[in-house]
Structure 1
Amino acid sequence: MSGTIIAPNDPSAWDSLNPQRWLYFHKVDHLTVDGSGKIDGMGQEWWAQSCKINTTNAMTFHKCKDLNVKKITMAPGSSPNTDGIHISSSTLVDIRESTIGTGDDCISIVGNSSVIQINNITCGPGHGISIGSLGKSNSSASVHDISVDGAILSNTENGLRIKTCQGGFGFATNIAFQNVWMEKVSNPIVIDQYYCDSPVECLNQTLAVKVQNISFVGIKGTTATDEAIRFACSDRFPCEMLYLEDIQLISYYGGLTSSFCWEAQGSFSGLIFPHPCFSYGESNLGQKVLPSSVLQSI
């Protein structure tokens, strides 16, 4: 891909189309999107004329297998609630060497996706790299064997995030984030099992997507919020086998930073700042979580 792909700058051009699908790939196998080109969603035009809710994704891959995306630039960052690259129900995905500026998640991975490798990504502005939300509307969702290795996140509203909704079921497991540099990032490391994007308050429910076998290694930089690490896990299905190694997140403004844990079980190694707050158990003390070897085959 070379040159620039530009969305229509007049929202009325979408009147007879689904505005949630711009560059949409469905059931495409062995696909490569490669080049120095740029994707411009003209998000500012939508923002100026809308009620400030826009769920369009710049590039969506649904039920795809053996997908490669590299050397792509996405802009601008003034596209509210618009994901850059959205992966759904897909497997064997490799995303690398790309720059993404958007109004929501730079990369989002949702239900029934697996064996995904993300390398050397620059993200910002945006909401960082997210897995989820999973389990919305009491649905089933499974995500496993995900590796993020090498990323720069700058001025994003979140950093590395796993978000699940109460009442859902399934699992998010064997997920590794490593070698990530953050610059003035709010909420750098987050696992949130109480995620709610409804305009009304979400009901408390005991069922939850199980989150386990998650590692954060070599995550460094500055945070724009006092709370640099947040693990808010389910009472009934606690987060298990979390692992932290070589974490250095200091305040961009020079203050203190902190960690928050609720029903989070894990272990750590090396320098961790801010200090972790795990509730420890003999079964996981000292355990190191690694990406699945299947990722090496991509």
Structure 2
Amino acid sequence: MTSNSCFKIGFILGLVFVCTNAQEKVFNVHSYGAKADGMTDDSKAILNGWRDACKWNGKATLLIPLGEYMVNGAIFKGPCNGSAMTFEMKGVIKAPTDPKIFCNEYWIRFQYMNGLKIKGHGTFDGQGACAWGKHQCATPLPFTVGFYFIKNLIVHDIHSNNSKGVHINVFNCTNGFFRHVKITAPDDSPNTDGIRIGYSNNIHIVDSNIGTGDDCISMVAGSQSINISGVTCGPGHGISIGSLGKLSKNDVVKDIHTKNCTFINTQNGVRIKTWASSMTGMATNITFEDIIMIKVSNPILIDQQYCPTGNCKKQGSSVQVKEVTYKNIRGSSSSKVAVIFDCSDSHPCNGIIVKDINLVYNERDGPATSSACENAIGKATGIELPPNCLKKS
């Protein structure tokens, strides 16, 4: 049958026209020898299926049916011949536990494509417990899924469990949409960021649940036009911008909008962090609004003395933080100091706008919350709990 051809089915009351499109094709990895027994390495079978799907001159779907697929590592490369590629995952893809792979940068990687959809209610299982605390490499533990140099990316209804390192790494991508993504790892799992974004623009993350041992979402250098909405974060370190200014000059993060999110028992809520160094950079045009905090240790935080190792040289950060708005943020803080603006003395935070902040502290030693400001310039309006400490511009 040729493309877009039709056939007729006769009924007593009339005719129904059924059209097919031969340009759409499904490539089932079982046809390529995938065992789906959770033990056999199915990497070759899945990559061979991808190879043929990528060659197809039309819409192609690589189908991962129900079952458990052991994959020791895979790079899904483009560009592809068709108009769009779909990776439909219904089963579970499991990472190996062999320590030999702990020093690899990645586990699963998609790259150099225009038009990619990942869907199917399946799960990437990083089996990270075998690696946490046992890492002896110069490089970080491998991320679970990486998207590199991709335009027009859609990821929805996918789970990622127990990544060895970062769960989802987005690098140099344009026009990305993540929806109904569920990411889980224990709160003590090291460096298991949920979604990390760098050098990418127009990325949307909506209606998702992320609980990890590190940032739920982190936006590092080059992140622009990022929109986050309807995300529940916890456990974890919150939603973070940075860190900026550690190794490279002119790190920039701008045009970030986080709205309608909930943080539950997280270490931080909404955070901007920069290293105290001579490296220049900027974080600007950032909005956090309509946020609920539930027993969050640091609900609102700008930290320009970021130094997780504790042995950094004390100096002013050269990264400029400006034009940051906090609006309608409410709930509870598990520490008395609910708002911290610890800004650089050489590059003070400018244009900080705080409106309708209502964060209470309900522990035994008192109901009051407080704020702490260093070199932070801006204005506050509406509800001020804790009381505002900004310097007026």
TM > 0.5 fold call: yes
Q: Deviations over 1:184-243 (max 9, x none)?
A: 111010001110123x51113345110000011111111111110000000010000001
- Equivalent pair of 2:282/2:321 in contact (CA under 8 Å): yes
Over 2 Å off, 4+ runs? 1-9, 20-51, 76-79, 137-140, 204-207
The correspondence for 2:269, drawn from 149, 159, 167, is 159
Q: Deviations over 1:110-140 (max 9, x none)?
A: 0011011011001111111000101113533
Shift of 1:101: 1.1
Percent of aligned pairs with the same amino acid: 38
- Equivalent pair of 1:189/1:230 in contact (CA under 8 Å): yes
- Equivalent pair of 1:40/1:76 in contact (CA under 8 Å): no
Tell me the equivalent position of 2:167.
58
Instruction: For 2:97, give the aligned amino acid.
Output: D
Distance 1:236 1:155, change over 3 A: same
Distance 1:238 1:26, change over 3 A: farther
Tell me the equivalent position of 1:292.
none
1:121 aligns with 2:231: yes
Shift of 1:8: 2.5
Tell me the equivalent position of 1:105.
215
Equivalents in 2 of 1:35, 1:269: separation in Å? 45
- Equivalent pair of 2:256/2:287 in contact (CA under 8 Å): yes
Unaligned stretches of 5+ residues in structure 1 = 282-298
- Equivalent pair of 1:28/1:65 in contact (CA under 8 Å): no
Q: How does 1:62-73 map to 2 (within 5 A)?
A: 62-73=171-182
- Secondary structure at the aligned position of 2:391 is classed as coil
1:74 aligns with 2:183: yes
| Larger mean Cα displacement after TM superposition, 114-123 or 38-47 | 38-47
- Equivalent pair of 1:118/1:147 in contact (CA under 8 Å): yes
The correspondence for 1:201, drawn from 303, 311, 316, is 311
Instruction: For 2:280, give the aligned amino acid.
Output: F
- Equivalent pair of 2:90/2:120 in contact (CA under 8 Å): no
The correspondence for 2:128, drawn from 33, 43, 46, is 43
The correspondence for 2:302, drawn from 191, 206, 211, is 191
- Equivalent pair of 1:239/1:263 in contact (CA under 8 Å): yes
Unaligned stretches of 5+ residues in structure 2 = 1-87, 142-164
Distance 1:3 1:63, change over 3 A: same
Shift of 1:43: 3.2
1:177 aligns with 2:262: no
Tell me the equivalent position of 2:363.
253
Shift of 1:24: 4.2
Flag the structure with more relative contact order, 1 or 2, with Cα contacts below 8 A and sequence separation at least 6.
1
Tell me the equivalent position of 1:228.
338
The correspondence for 1:12, drawn from 91, 94, 99, is 99
Instruction: For 2:342, give the aligned amino acid.
Output: A
Matched residue count = 277
Distance 1:279 1:128, change over 3 A: same
TM-score, structure 2 as length reference: 0.65
Q: How does 1:117-156 map to 2 (within 5 A)?
A: 117-137=227-247, 139-156=249-266
Instruction: For 2:335, give the aligned amino acid.
Output: T
- Equivalent pair of 1:266/1:279 in contact (CA under 8 Å): yes
Q: Which structure has the greater CA radius of gyration? A: 2
Equivalents in 1 of 2:291, 2:98: separation in Å? 36
- Equivalent pair of 2:198/2:223 in contact (CA under 8 Å): yes
Equivalents in 1 of 2:170, 2:363: separation in Å? 38
Equivalents in 1 of 2:384, 2:97: separation in Å? 49
Shift of 1:252: 4.0
Equivalents in 2 of 1:236, 1:62: separation in Å? 31
Instruction: For 1:197, give the aligned amino acid.
Output: P
Distance 1:276 1:5, change over 3 A: farther
Instruction: For 1:158, give the aligned amino acid.
Output: N
Shift of 1:246: 1.3
- Secondary structure at the aligned position of 2:392 is classed as coil
